Amino acid sequence: DTEVTQTPKHLVMGMTNKKSLKCEQHMGHRAMYWYKQKAKKPPELMFVYSYEKLSINESVPSRFSPECPNSSLLNLHLHALQPEDSALYLCASSQARRSNTGELFFGEGSRLTVL
Amino acid sequence: AQSVTQLGSHVSVSEGALVLLRCNYSSSVPPYLFWYVQYPNQGLQLLLKYTSAATLVKGINGFEAEFKKSETSFHLTKPSAHMSDAAEYFCAVSTNTGGFKTIFGAGTRLFVKA
């Protein structure tokens, strides 16, 4: 069983819809991540939150809006997406202290289809 | 800048044969190196990690990897492949830049033949 829970597992949305992906972890990790993974490709980093503050934004289009309401939750708000945004969106968490190694704990992902 | 190169996008072995998945890294500082496995329609799971302790690292499911600084390599091996090892394998390197930035290799798909 994964300790990082993502909902929903599948999402189909139109280009004018607004939806959100949710991620929750209870391992006490203070770094949380959103990755995007296209078929047959490695995960691509989108955002990193460290101690609930956005620390890395990999030049992601503004139609993706992350939110970290508390140390256990991470959301990704979606608006006006394009069909090419269809992908598996992976949430991950890790320890945030400099003494740690950055081992990532992944959820099972939310598979998004944009029509 | 750090990077990871995985040699071979596909590797096919027979059940019971040696598994060898190759990974070379580029890093200006001592790296943290990882191997992750991804089964179909699932997230990634850590197999093993190198954190500057022992150069031979043992992981789950009988996998191990050896860190060779002189060759900038971190190849993944398993003495005897099992059908359940068929999956996508990613080598990765990380750096702490206010939250860890992990760079993944392109991945190697492992096929196991009966």
B15-52 pLDDT tens trace? 999 999 999 998 776 678 999 999 988 899 999 999 87
Query: Which of A62-66, A107-111, B41-45 has the least mean pLDDT?
Result: B41-45
Q: Which residues contact B97 (CB under 8 A, 6 or more apart)?
A: A55, A56
Residue A2 CB burial class (10 angstroms; 0-12, 13-18, ≥19): middle
Q: Which residues contact A106 (CB under 8 A, 6 or more apart)?
A: A2, A4, A90, A91, A92, B36, B43, B44, B45
pLDDT at B99: 62
Nearest CA to B19 among B4, B35, B34, B33?
Answer: B35
Q: Indicate whether A99 pLDDT > 70.
A: no
Q: In whole angstroms, what is the distance from residue A28 CA to residue A31 CA? A: 9
- List the 8-37 stretch of B: residues with Cβ below 8 A of A: 32, 34, 36
Express each pLDDT in B60-103 by its tens digit: 999 999 999 899 999 999 999 999 999 999 999 987 665 678 88
Quote the distance between the C-alpha of residue A93 and its chain's center.
10
Q: Indicate whether A1 pLDDT > 70.
A: no
pLDDT at B4: 93
Q: Which chain A residue lies closest to B95 (C-alpha atoms)?
A: A102
* Residue B3 pLDDT level (bands cut at 50, 70, 90): confident
- 3-class SS of residue B111: strand
Min Cα distance B23 → chain A (Å) is 14
Residue with tokens 């580029």: B26
